[in-house]
Amino acid sequence: MKKLDTTTNKKIIVFTSSGGGGHTSATSALENYLHEQYEIKAVHIFKLLQHLDPIRVITGNKYSCEELFNEFLPKKYIRLLTWISRLGIEYIHRRRKRIYRELRAYIMEEQPVLIISVIPVMNYIILDVAQELNIPFLLIPTDLDITLYIQRIYNPTYKQFYIGLSFNDKDILKLIKKNHIASEHIVVLSAPLKIDFFEHQNKNILKQQYNIPPDKPVIMLLMGSRGSYETEKYTRQLLNLPFPAHLLICIGKNIKSKIAISHFKVPSHITLSIIEFTEHIADYMAMSDLLISKSGTQSVCEALYKNIPLFLDATSRVLPWEKFNLNFIKKHHFGEGIKRYNQIVPLITSVIQNTHMLMLYKHHIKQLDKKNFSKELLILVKKIVPC
């Protein structure tokens, strides 16, 4: 077995993906927290292996698998996205030997001291490469449902393999035990979020800064960094709220939604801000009393770290790996799911006007043990790879 020479190199490879916003956000956080002590190289693994991408072949190189995923996600083509996911999983397993050889050659050339992965599906192959080359491997799932991240990893024996979880939750740990992964491989790091989500922010000062009415409850609508056509449907319903409120409508990169919403008739007791893609989501969450969001893990974790009750969109099918999130927030009384559009007004009205209910949600969220990702990450990485 050939080992790498890691005596002088302090490079860390982060395997990431541009499919959805969670992977890129986690990668950005890792780069920010580790770049002072280590050389960080973010590698989009599906671009590295793009010559093996079946979607490129099928579409005549017009789309990659990630691009097709991002194209269909705002349109909520859940069945199609699920099919693409299953196709990709099966295809990767069929080509696992070639993927193994190419990843091994790439890692040998790069000479990292640590491999970090924030992607699903392919980690059993990365683990095999890491074990053969004797490189520590840290897996940081960006979903609470880690099933796809530990897929085909059963009873691992490699002592330098670690899984960094967002929360110490028995339902998450149950998934790990199912694969007979020993506790020595598990560490709770917290959610891989930007530093803004771990800092206290003054709500009143922020409202002045962003010109938000100080005397109205603030309801935030966030359907992902790429936006969603559901944003318009939800906004139409929220404009029927019977009480004064300010709406923060986050459209992400979906400019068509901005144009459509700008033509909506807004009643006099409701004010509204349309927010395009921004790096200041933590600020907007800090000003909000309640969040309505799609069921993606990134939005869920961001809200929990800002102690905001959240209501997740369940008006249609949910991606298989996001079903866990809806059950998670309902089980722990952090919020509810919205199954029908006609639920929106009565549900939000009851929560905002019933301050006891709102405070109860916040109380449960504050009781959740939330570690600081930057601190926990640095402690673990320095333990694995001393500076």
Report angle CA 364, 231, 211 to the nearest 5 degrees: 75
Residue 228 has pLDDT above 70, yes or no: no
pLDDT at 252: 83
Contact 118, 30 (CB under 8 A): yes
Percent of the chain topping pLDDT 70: 95
Range 238-245 average pLDDT: 96
Q: Concatenated DSSP letters for 178-238?
A: HTT--GGGEEE------GGGGS---HHHHHHHTT--TTS-EEEEE--TT--THHHHHHHHH
Whole-prediction pTM: 0.90
Query: Encoding tokens for residue 267?
Result: 């009643």
For the domain spanning 196-367, the CATH number is 3.40.50.2000
pLDDT in tens, 82-121: 887 887 888 888 999 999 999 999 999 999 999 999 999 9
What backbone phi and psi angles, to 5 degrees, belong to 222? -140, 115
pLDDT in tens, 41-63: 999 998 888 887 777 777 777 77
- Find which of 15-29, 138-152, 224-238 is predicted with most confidence, using mean pLDDT: 138-152
3-class SS at 331?
helix
Contact 81, 319 (CB under 8 A): yes
Confidence band of 185 (pLDDT split at 50, 70, 90): very high
Confidence band of 7 (pLDDT split at 50, 70, 90): very low
pLDDT at 227: 53
- Of 56 and 237, which is predicted with more confidence? 237
Range 129-151 average pLDDT: 96
For the domain spanning 11-190+371-384, the CATH number is 3.40.50
Among 325, 248, 321, smallest CA distance to 69 is for: 321
pLDDT in tens, 66-75: 777 777 776 7
3-class SS at 344?
helix
pLDDT at 54: 74
| In the chain, ranges of CATH 3.40.50.2000 domains | 196-367
Q: What is the edge-to-edge ordering of all strands in the sheet holding 114-117? A: 39-44, 11-16, 114-117, 137-139, 161-165, 186-188
pLDDT in tens, 254-274: 788 888 888 899 999 999 999
Residue 4 has pLDDT above 60, yes or no: no
pLDDT in tens, 353-369: 988 999 999 999 999 99
Residue 18 has pLDDT above 90, yes or no: no
